[in-house]
Amino acid sequence: MRFMSNQVIHKTVVVGSLQCNCAILICPKTLEAIIIDPGDEAEKIISHLDPGVTVKYLLHTHAHFDHIGGTAGVKLATHGMICLHQADEMIYKQLPMQGRMFGMEFKDAPPVEKFIEDNEELYFGEQKLEVLHTPGHSPGSVCFRLHGGEERVFSGDTLFRQSVGRSDLWGGDSSLLIRSIKSRLMTLDDELRVYPGHGPATRIGEEKRKNPFLS
């Protein structure tokens, strides 16, 4: 499977009881890939990886169970490097406790292998992804901005279409959440596509006009 264009291959796999949008991004030239938020149903995620695809990073927008519940299984199958912002490590280490609060059973998540930082650039094949630290939904919440070609941003549970993430869970902060969105996301280009951690995609300009939490 080789593609002439340099346009990234983007697959969305909806996983788990909370319907987390897991994103698979593949560089068409090198078939090097990243997976964002392998939240559950590891086997379903893995089934979307064609032969020849190698997974470089397992990235997490934050450490709530619905975004990290499938990390152990996907790690075993792909050996991608587990990445998280350090401010969410405490929550990451509490996966079994998080599950119990929501009536689900999880084993401990495998250790984080790389702490990602604000403005850090991550490469897979010829593709570049930038880390934007956007605390508020959780202390270590980040968004990922894909550069080049058709740019897009993966907003986790920070920004949804016409809504924002909740801030009543561990370390959440509602005023910080709104500040993060306004300073780091609403300053981006209006045409930029946004892929939230749950629900449909949107654009920055549409959220500027229609998101009731940002007026």
Give the residues lining the site for Zn ion (CB under 5 A): 64, 66, 157, 197
- Closest to Zn ion by CB, 24 or 27: 24
Nearest to 156 by CA among 190, 125, 182, 133: 133
User: What is the nearest approach in angstroms of Zn ion to the Cβ of residue 18?
Assistant: 6
- Closest to Zn ion by CB, 32 or 157: 157
Rounded CA-CA distance 190/208 in Å is 8
- Closest to Zn ion by CB, 8 or 181: 181
Rounded CA-CA distance 167/32 in Å is 35
Rounded CA-CA distance 183/210 in Å is 17
Q: Between the CA of residue 4 and those of 8, 29, 127, 148, 167, what are the distances in Å?
A: 11, 8, 15, 16, 44
Burial class of residue 108 in the structure, from the number of CB atoms within 10 Å of its CB (0-12 exposed, 13-18 middle, 19+ buried):
exposed
Give me the helices (H) in 144-194, please: 174-180
Nearest to 31 by CA among 15, 49, 52: 52
User: Between β-strands 81-84 and 54-59, what pairing exists: parallel, antiparallel or unpaired?
Assistant: parallel
User: What is the nearest approach in angstroms of Zn ion to the Cβ of residue 53?
Assistant: 25
User: What is the nearest approach in angstroms of Zn ion to the Cβ of residue 104?
Assistant: 13
User: What is the nearest approach in angstroms of Zn ion to the Cβ of residue 113?
Assistant: 21
65 backbone dihedrals φ, ψ, rounded to 5°: -55, -30
- Closest to Zn ion by CB, 9 or 169: 169
User: What is the nearest approach in angstroms of Zn ion to the Cβ of residue 141?
Assistant: 8
User: What is the nearest approach in angstroms of Zn ion to the Cβ of residue 131?
Assistant: 17
- Closest to Zn ion by CB, 31 or 83: 83
- Closest to Zn ion by CB, 65 or 124: 65
Q: Which residue is nearest to Zn ion (CB)?
A: 64
CB 148 within 8 A of CB 127: yes
